[in-house]
């Protein structure tokens, strides 16, 4: 497109653009076990999560997001990633995801095997866009809120 | 499009290139691209005249004011108080004592809410509009909650004009003591019919405050001709520094109002039992003020006045018309607000692209705009939007920069759709 294409694409990976435009996990569940909300007062973006649990496993998850491409794609890729995880695994991914965004070399998580981020690594360039980190974090804040109602 | 300046006079033509030479920052690059600065409504860039005057003050002629008995203090006091004369002249205020220096327009409105608000009785009301910046909303909510007054909100039309019939109706019961309305919307660009607003308010027994933060930059302001009772503006949007704003108010009002902040400089006599207040405007200027910034504001007013508002208004009207035409050609783009009279601020949204993504991608191309709710969340709700992108123009903006904006927006949309 022009000389800045590489830079632009570094932030707005094709996967982010696609998931923002055509999310795979958008919508509501008919009978969620827990729900979570995230709202960014600075920009008005918001996301709602419906989560169905099977014991401590996330059986299914849907999000309803109104926000920028970064926020919408983060919600969709988060749902994809944590589906099938235990609550504890999902929270470990959340910590690791945050550590990646802020560029933190040390993780506050005490575990032998760090949770792999997989496709969530497309958000790594946000490290150099501090003002947009909160966009990608919003769904994870909603996830933590949802799990705050779950024991252990 | 109609504007406050009906014609462009040949003699009022701006030499934009010569003006740009006076703004060192416009030579900077962002992400290896020439800076295209379209965010002057948030804060304008500063010309050498302002930068040099502030640096020179600190280098050659600086001391605290109003209290020193030495040469440096006397000279600095003269420079500081000289700006009060300049501001009085700038607003065509009847007297220099009616000019109160504040930190910004927000503080000026807070001063009025506190000190004029202290004169209000429960049951009286303050009337604002749906298109106010939080600065002209939150102080009145705080006053309402503390003093038991009513806060009324005049609606706007879908085009972004004040709904004058509804405005009149809200004044009909005679309970409104003060109308506090923007002179130019920072989101919609609307220049409100201030004279008409003031006449209607006065006929209903209300006083009127205009928040001139956006408007003083674009055209000549005459508080007497407008029929204002209070007028506020801020220095940093007028090519001056941050940290200095202005409240103008009619002398009789300032004299009735109790002080805002207490401290040095605002007193006449002080004992442990009680204090008496200094005369206006000093009654409202507690503590050491922003001396250097005030002198910088004076330099900005001098600089703008030399160029003249005929030329500035004509230039900005031309830019705004060009922007509305060019942006209309961008697929999926909607202009937010079609007010009858507007200044150099254009908000827009794009189908399928969030304003924050627009702003980030424009930034990667060196183009600075604002995106978000623009400190006007209730207005966003009225418009049924969570955010807009906003381009705003200043004295140094070139038509070519608007072309770059429009072309880049087309590419951004291609990227997302």
Q: Are B222 and B92 spatial neighbours (Cβ–Cβ below 8 Å)? A: yes
CA of B33: which chain A residue's CA is closest?
Answer: A4
B231: CB partners within 8 A, 6+ apart: B91, B183, B209, B210, B212, B221, B223, B247, B248, B249
Q: Is the pLDDT of residue B198 over 90?
A: yes
Omega before residue B26 within 30° of 0, cis: no
Task: Specify the pLDDT at position B283.
Answer: 95
Place of tokens 């501001």: B87
Q: What is the pLDDT of residues B100-140, one digit of tens each?
A: 999 999 999 999 999 999 999 999 999 999 999 999 999 99
What pTM was estimated for this model as a whole? 0.90
- Residue in chain B closest to A5 (alpha carbons) equals B364
pLDDT at A2: 44
Q: Smallest CA–CA separation between A43 and chain B, in Å?
A: 5
CA distance B107 to chain A (A): 22
**Of residues B334, B333, B342, the one with CA closest to residue B407:** B333
pLDDT at B285 over 60: yes
pLDDT digits 0-9 by tens, A28-77:
999 999 999 999 887 788 999 999 999 999 999 999 999 999 999 999 99
Task: Choose the CATH number for A5-147 among 3.40.30.10, 3.90.1010.10, 3.40.109.10, 3.40.640.10.
Answer: 3.90.1010.10
Sequence-distant (6+) residues with CB within 8 A of B248 are B87, B88, B91, B93, B98, B99, B100, B223, B228, B230, B231, B232
Residues A21, B372: C-beta atoms closer than 8 Å: no
**Which of B159, B223, B234 lies closest to B195, judged by CA?**
B223
Residues of chain A contacting residue B355, judged by C-beta atoms under 8 Å apart = 68
Chain B environment of A11 (Cβ under 8 Å): 360, 364
| Res. B189: pLDDT tops 90 | yes
Q: What is the mean pLDDT of chain B?
A: 94
User: Mean pLDDT throughout A137-147?
Assistant: 95
Percent of chain A with pLDDT over 90: 69
Mutate to test the interface with B, among A3, A12, A15 (most CBs of B within 10 A): A12
Name residue, tokens 């920028």: A68
Q: Residue A25: is its pLDDT beyond 80?
A: yes
Query: Considering only CB atoms, which chain A residues are within 8 Å of B372?
Result: 42-44
Q: What's the fold here for domain B51-305? A: 3.40.640
Report pLDDT digits (tens) over B319-352. Answer: 999 999 999 999 999 999 999 999 999 999 999 8
Cα distances from B184 to residues B140, B189, B216, in angstroms, run: 19, 6, 9
Instruction: Based on the residue annotation, tell me whether B392 is a catalytic residue of this protein.
Output: no
Least confident window among A77-86, B38-47, B211-220, B380-389: B380-389
- Whether B364 sits inside 8 A of A68 (CB atoms) is no
pLDDT (0 to 100) of residue B264? 86
For residue A35, CA distances in Å to A31, A63, B71, B147 come to 10, 10, 70, 40
Structural domain B10-30+308-416, CATH architecture: Alpha-Beta Complex (3.90)
What b/e string do you get for B338-356 counting C-beta neighbours within 10 Å, with b at 16 or more? bbeebbbbbbbbbeebbbb
Structure confidence at residue B280 (pLDDT):
94
Q: How far apart (Å, rounded) are the C-alpha atoms in residues A11 and A126?
A: 7
Residue B323: name the closest of B347, B353, B349, B358 by CA: B347
CA A1 to CA B411: how far, in whole Å?
8
- Are B372 and A3 a contacting pair at CB < 8 A? no
| pLDDT tens-digit readout, B387-397 | 899 999 999 99
- How many angstroms separate the first and last alpha carbons of chain B? 31
pLDDT at B7 over 50: no
**For A109-123, how does the pLDDT look when each residue is reduced to its tens digit (9 = 90+)?**
555 566 789 999 999
B364 to A129: CB separation less than 8 angstroms, yes or no: no
| Contact state of B356 with A21 under an 8 Å Cβ cutoff | no
Confidence band for B384, pLDDT divided at 50, 70 and 90: confident
Q: Are B353 and B332 in contact (CB under 8 A)?
A: yes
Instruction: Tell me which of B30, B354, B375 to substitute to probe the interface with A (most A C-beta atoms closer than 10 Å).
Output: B354
Label residue A8 by pLDDT band (50, 70, 90). very low
Looking at B219-285, which runs of residues are DSSP E strands?
230-234, 245-249, 267-270, 275-277
Neighbours of A97 (CB within 10 A): 23
pLDDT level of residue A105 (50, 70, 90 thresholds): low
Smallest CA–CA distance from B388 into chain A, residue? A43
From A7-11, B156-160, B212-216, B309-313, the region with the lowest mean pLDDT: A7-11
Q: Is the per-residue pLDDT at B1 higher than 70? A: no
Summarize the confidence of residues B56-68 as an average pLDDT. Answer: 92
Domain ranges of chain A: 5-147
pLDDT at B10 exceeding the cut of 50 = no
Q: Are B132 and B154 in contact (CB under 8 A)?
A: no
Q: Structural domain boundaries of chain B?
A: 10-30+308-416, 51-305
pLDDT score at A42: 78
Looking at residue A131, its pLDDT comes to: 85
pLDDT value at B4 more than 70: no
CB B49 within 8 A of CB B299: yes
* B364/A132 touch (CB, cutoff 8 Å), yes or no: no
* Min Cα–Cα distance to chain A from B377, Å: 9
Instruction: Name the average pLDDT for chain A.
Output: 87
Comparing A111 with B193, which gets the higher pLDDT? B193
How far the first Cα of chain A sits from its last, in Å, is 50
Q: Do A69 and B354 touch (CB under 8 A)?
A: yes
Range 360-389 of B in CB contact (< 8 A) with A: 360-361, 364-365, 372-373, 377, 380, 386-387
Calculate the alpha carbon distances from B90 to A30, B35, B246, B300 in Å: 64, 31, 11, 11
What is the token pair recorded at B401?
């920069």
Question: Tokens in use for B413?
Answer: 């949309």
* pLDDT tens profile B207-243: 999 999 999 999 999 999 999 999 999 999 999 999 9
Instruction: Confirm or reject contact between B30 and chain A (CB < 8 A).
Output: no
Per-residue H/E/C for B301-314: HHHHHHHCHHHHHH
Among the listed residues B119, B147, B267, B375, the single catalytic one is: B375
Over residues B288-301, the pLDDT tens digits come to 999 999 999 999 99
Listed as own residue / partner, the contacts of A93-99 with beta carbons closer than 8 Å and 24 or more positions apart are A93/A117, A93/A120, A94/A140, A94/A143, A94/A144, A97/A123, A97/A136, A97/A140, A98/A137, A98/A140
Residues A74-93, mean pLDDT to the nearest whole number: 95
């Amino acid at each position: 497109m022009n000389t800045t294409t590489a830079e632009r694409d570094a932030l707005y990976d094709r996967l982010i653009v696609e998931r923002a435009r055509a999310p795979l996990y958008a919508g509501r569940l008919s009978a969620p076990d827990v729900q979570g909300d995230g709202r960014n007062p600075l920009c008005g973006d918001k996301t709602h999560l419906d989560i169905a649990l099977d014991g401590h496993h996330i059986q299914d998850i849907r999000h309803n997001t109104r926000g920028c491409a970064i926020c919408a794609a983060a919600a969709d890729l988060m749902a994809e990633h944590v589906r099938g995880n235990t609550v504890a695994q999902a929270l470990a991914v959340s910590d690791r995801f945050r550590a990646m965004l802020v560029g933190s070399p040390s993780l506050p998580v005490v575990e032998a095997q760090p949770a792999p981020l997989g496709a969530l690594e497309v958000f790594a360039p946000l490290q150099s866009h501090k003002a947009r980190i909160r966009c990608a974090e919003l769904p994870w804040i909603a996830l933590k809120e949802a799990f705050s109602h779950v024991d252990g | 499009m109609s504007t406050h300046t009906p014609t462009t006079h040949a003699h009022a033509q701006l030499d934009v290139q010569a003006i740009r030479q006076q703004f060192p920052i416009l030579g900077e690059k962002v992400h290896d691209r020439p800076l295209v600065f379209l965010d002057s409504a948030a804060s304008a860039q500063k010309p050498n005249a302002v930068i040099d005057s502030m640096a020179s003050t600190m280098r050659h002629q600086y001391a605290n004011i109003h209290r020193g008995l030495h040469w440096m203090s006397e000279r600095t006091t003269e420079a500081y108080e000289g700006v009060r004369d300049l501001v009085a002249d700038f607003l065509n205020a009847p007297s220099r004592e009616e000019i109160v220096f504040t930190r910004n327009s927000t503080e000026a409105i807070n001063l009025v809410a506190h000190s004029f608000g202290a004169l209000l009785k429960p049951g009286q009301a303050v009337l604002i509009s749906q298109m106010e910046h939080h600065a002209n909303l939150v102080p009145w909510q705080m006053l309402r909650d503390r003093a038991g007054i009513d806060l009324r909100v005049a609606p706007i039309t879908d085009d972004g004009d004040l709904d004058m019939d509804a405005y009149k109706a809200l004044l009909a019961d005679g309970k409104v003591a003060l109308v506090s309305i923007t002179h130019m919307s920072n989101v919609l660009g609307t220049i409100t019919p201030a004279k008409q607003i003031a006449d209607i308010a006065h006929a209903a027994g209300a006083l009127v405050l205009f928040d001139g933060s956006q408007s003083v930059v674009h055209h000549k302001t005459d508080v007497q001709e407008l029929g204002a009772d209070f007028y506020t503006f801020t220095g940093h949007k007028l090519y001056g520094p941050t940290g200095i704003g202005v409240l103008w108010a009619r002398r009789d009002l300032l004299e009735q109002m109790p002080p805002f902040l207490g401290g040095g400089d605002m007193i006449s006599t002080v004992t442990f039992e009680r204090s008496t207040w200094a005369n206006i405007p000093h009654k409202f200027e507690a503590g050491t003020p922003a001396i250097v910034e005030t002198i910088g504001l004076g330099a900005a007013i001098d600089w703008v006045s030399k160029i003249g508002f005929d030329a500035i208004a004509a230039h900005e009207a031309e830019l705004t018309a060009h922007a509305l035409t060019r942006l209309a050609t961008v697929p999926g783009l909607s202009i937010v607000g079609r007010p009858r009279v507007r200044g150099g601020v254009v908000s827009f949204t794009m189908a399928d692209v969030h304003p924050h993504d627009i702003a980030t991608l424009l930034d990667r191309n060196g183009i600075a705009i604002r995106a978000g709710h623009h400190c006007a969340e209730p207005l966003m709700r009225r418009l049924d939007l969570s955010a807009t992108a906003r381009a705003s123009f200043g004295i140094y903006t070139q038509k070519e920069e608007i072309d770059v904006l429009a072309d880049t927006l087309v590419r951004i949309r291609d990227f997302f759709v």
